[in-house]
């Protein structure tokens, strides 16, 4: 039985994108699997940090052909300067990922630039730049406990999840870093965001060493952090609106992520019979997933509602699984169909989870998640306007149903603030921002183009239309790109009064492999990365993949 991929009209809605979960396609898990399979070697080359916690360290990851080094600077940050916002100017720790192994001159140069982040410049030798702040409550708790000869409280560890959270991880040419083209041909960089994920993986190693160092500085006989507790610690991330435009600005890349996940799901749903080992693995991971759901805390009403729905879903799923449906024909398709009765959180949780037993059907697809096309795409000026109209209606038909004269429909506008060049979302009719609007509302723009097309005869060309209407070039390019990127457009209004940008952030972060989504507002979210992952010395093909699922329930 051939199962078709779900249609973009189903998948590309904001509420569903805002309910996506990590899966075996996640970029973090792709990285840990690769590093284990290729037997990467890791080395702490320098750890020169004083008793006050100020200094630097270098960690090198050596792959088959290339080495990558995290250069970490530790700072003594006054408490009143600790902010997750991009408008911050100082941090507890700052980092660069260096391509190769840095020498003393490189370290000196980076020490002048990395600690000030956006106010400095990095070079073509660097692939990523980032910074992190301590979770004050957990950091102090862990240092104090260890210094007192005790292990920290596991419940407290799990309630926070991390000792430090990154507040930006820049790559791809930002602030002078190397363009992606420098590394795009390296096998280990082919999948998206691999250098950024490696950066964070090494940061986690550094943070464990730093907290231990601080405890030992206080008391030379301090306890050594238990490795099981250390493994439960991830690295947090605090992300704001800057991430949301990325999805709109990279439609081919985003489409490839979604399409690969949808193809993987279709393949698994097409499995006629589940082998007993597959069912066993799924049920084991389901138990562990329930533990993960139970430990997922958020104070925000948006997420509390979603979590409460998910708890109801968990009961329904338990009931369904108790009826032995997985031993029947097309079990995963049955599970998928059953899940349509659940909340979107529950549906997408299962859609990710059912991929787990099938690495042979899923993992090879990961090579299709990059985007070698968008930058070279050439707008087709010879396309006839009747074809253009059909393409616009196919991709943006949903937008034609919106009454764009209603203020709620375009209540918001995306703009970039002069201060720190931070993307922001404002109230179009209340703030003086309309003249600065960014092109992040393809639905509205497509309807405008369709309206102007009314006056044109169908046999004329896109080139002629664009000469008269250059303001539609942006959205026509998008519409044409959709022919190679069927999942490239969010099929929802991105400037409506009820837009929740966290849905866009979550969609992207879920592909990184993030867990514990904890919105701090409708446009700001904290997450956890690498919680449960093996540290470099623990990384083997046995530990490299399923670490995201807590082990204690197994």
Partner 1 sequence: MNFSLGEIDALSRKAARGAGYPWGLAEEAGRAVAWLCHKGLDGCGAFVRVLNRNLAEDLKTHQPKALGHHMEGVGILCPITAGSTLSDLSAELNVAPITFNHVAEPLLMLPFAWNVAKSQDSSIVLSMDGKDFLIAPNGSFDVSDIVAEASIVSVRLQDFVVSHATQKTRATPKASDLDRLNAFAAQTYAPATAASRRLGAGSDLSDND
Q: Which residues bind partner 1 (CB under 8 A)?
A: 79-80, 82-87, 121, 123-124, 133, 135-137, 172-174, 176-182, 238, 240-241, 375-376, 378-379, 381-382, 415-419, 421-427, 431-433, 435-436, 439, 461-464, 466-467, 470-477, 520-521, 523-524
Q: How far is residue 225's CA from residue 434's CA, in Å, rounded to a whole number?
A: 53
Shortest Å distance, C-beta 60 to partner 1: 23
Nearest distance in Å: CB 549, partner 1 = 27
Burial (CB count within 10 angstroms: exposed 0-12, middle 13-18, buried 19+), residue 361: middle
Q: Work out how close the CB of 438 gets to partner 1 at its nearest, in angstroms, rounded to a whole number.
A: 8
Nearer to partner 1, 262 or 518 (CB): 518
- Find the shortest distance in angstroms from Cβ 501 to partner 1: 9
Would you say 68 or 465 has its CB closer to partner 1? 465
Residue 93 and residue 239: Cα distance in Å, rounded?
17
CB of 285 to partner 1, least distance (A): 32
Rounded-to-integer distance, Cα 110 and Cα 326, Å: 55
Q: Which is nearer to partner 1, 120 or 331 (CB)?
A: 120
Least Å from the CB of residue 272 to partner 1: 45
> Which residue is associated with the tokens 């697809």?
365
In angstroms, the CA 425 to CA 438 distance is 10
Total count of residues recorded for the chain: 554
Closest separation between CB of residue 506 and partner 1, Å? 15
Between residues 93 and 278, which has the closer beta carbon with respect to partner 1? 93
Q: Which is nearer to partner 1, 182 or 186 (CB)?
A: 182
Tell the smallest beta-carbon distance from residue 412 to partner 1 (Å). Answer: 10
CA 471 to CA 105: how far, in whole Å? 49
88 or 350, CB closer to partner 1?
A: 88
Task: Tell me the C-alpha distance between 446 and 443, whole Å.
Answer: 5
List Cβ neighbours of 167 (8 Å cut-off, separation of 6 or more).
83, 84, 85, 86, 88, 91, 131, 132, 133, 237, 238
What angle in degrees, to the nearest 10, is found between the helix axes of 27-37 and 194-218?
A: 80
Contacts of 474 (CB under 8 A, 6+ apart): 439, 445
- The neighbouring-strand residues paired with 42 are 61
In angstroms, the Cα distances linking 525 to 22, 303, 492, 506, 521 are 16, 10, 20, 8, 7
Query: Given the complex with partner 1, which of 26 and 167 has the nearer CB atom?
Result: 167
In the bound state with partner 1, the residue whose beta carbon lies nearer, of 8 and 426, is: 426
């Amino acid at each position: 039985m051939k199962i078709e991929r779900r249609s973009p009209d189903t998948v590309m809605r904001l509420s569903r994108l805002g309910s996506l979960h990590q899966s075996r396609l996640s970029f973090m898990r792709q990285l840990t699997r690769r590093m284990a399979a290729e037997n990467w070697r890791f080395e702490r080359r320098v750890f020169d940090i004083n008793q006050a916690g100020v200094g630097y360290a270098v960690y090198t990851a050596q792959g088959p052909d290339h080495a990558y080094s995290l250069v970490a600077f530790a700072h003594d940050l006054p408490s009143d300067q600790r902010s997750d916002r991009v408008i911050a100017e100082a941090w507890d720790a700052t980092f660069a990922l260096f391509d190769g192994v840095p020498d003393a001159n490189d370290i000196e140069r980076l020490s002048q630039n990395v600690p000030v982040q956006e106010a400095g410049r990095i070079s073509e030798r660097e692939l990523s730049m980032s910074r992190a702040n301590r979770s004050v409550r957990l950091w102090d708790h862990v240092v104090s406990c260890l210094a007192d000869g005790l292990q920290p409280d596991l419940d407290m560890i799990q309630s926070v999840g991390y000792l430090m959270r990154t507040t930006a991880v820049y790559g791809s040419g930002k602030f002078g870093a190397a363009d992606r083209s420098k590394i795009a041909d390296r096998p280990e960089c082919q999948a998206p965001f691999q250098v950024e994920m490696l950066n964070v993986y090494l940061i986690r190693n550094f943070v464990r060493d730093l907290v231990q160092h601080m405890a030992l500085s206080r008391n030379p006989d301090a306890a050594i952090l238990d490795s099981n507790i250390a493994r439960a610690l991830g690295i947090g991330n605090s992300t704001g609106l800057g991430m949301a435009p990325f999805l709109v600005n990279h439609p081919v890349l985003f489409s490839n992520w979604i399409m690969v996940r949808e193809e993987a799901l279709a393949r698994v749903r097409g499995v006629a019979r589940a082998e007993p080992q597959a069912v066993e693995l799924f049920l084991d991971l389901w138990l562990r997933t329930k533990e993960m759901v139970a430990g997922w805390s958020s104070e925000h009403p948006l997420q509390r509602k979603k979590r409460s729905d998910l708890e109801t879903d968990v009961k329904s799923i338990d009931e369904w699984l108790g009826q032995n449906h997985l031993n029947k024909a097309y079990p995963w398709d049955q599970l998928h169909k059953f899940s349509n009765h659940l909340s979107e959180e529950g549906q997408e949780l299962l859609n990710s989870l059912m991929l787990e037993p099938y690495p042979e059907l899923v993992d090879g697809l990961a090579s299709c998640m990059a985007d070698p096309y968008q930058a070279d795409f050439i707008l087709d000026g010879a396309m006839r306007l009747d074809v253009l109209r059909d393409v616009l209606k196919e991709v943006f038909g949903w937008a034609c149903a919106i009454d764009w004269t209603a203020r709620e429909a375009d209540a918001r506008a995306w703009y970039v603030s002069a201060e720190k060049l931070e993307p922001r979302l404002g109230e179009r009719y209340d703030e003086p921002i309309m003249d600065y609007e960014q092109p992040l509302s393809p639905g509205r723009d497509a309807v405008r183009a369709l309206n102007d097309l009314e006056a044109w005869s169908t046999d004329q060309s896109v080139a002629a239309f664009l000469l008269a209407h250059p303001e539609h070039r942006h959205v026509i390019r998008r519409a044409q790109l959709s022919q190679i990127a069927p999942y490239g457009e969010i099929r929802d209004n991105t400037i409506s009064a009820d837009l929740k940008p966290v849905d866009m952030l979550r969609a992207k972060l879920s592909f990184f492999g993030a867990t514990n989504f904890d919105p701090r507002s409708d446009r700001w979210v904290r997450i956890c990365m690498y919680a449960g992952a093996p540290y470099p010395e623990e990384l083997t093909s046995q530990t490299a993949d399923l670490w995201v699922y807590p082990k204690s329930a197994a």
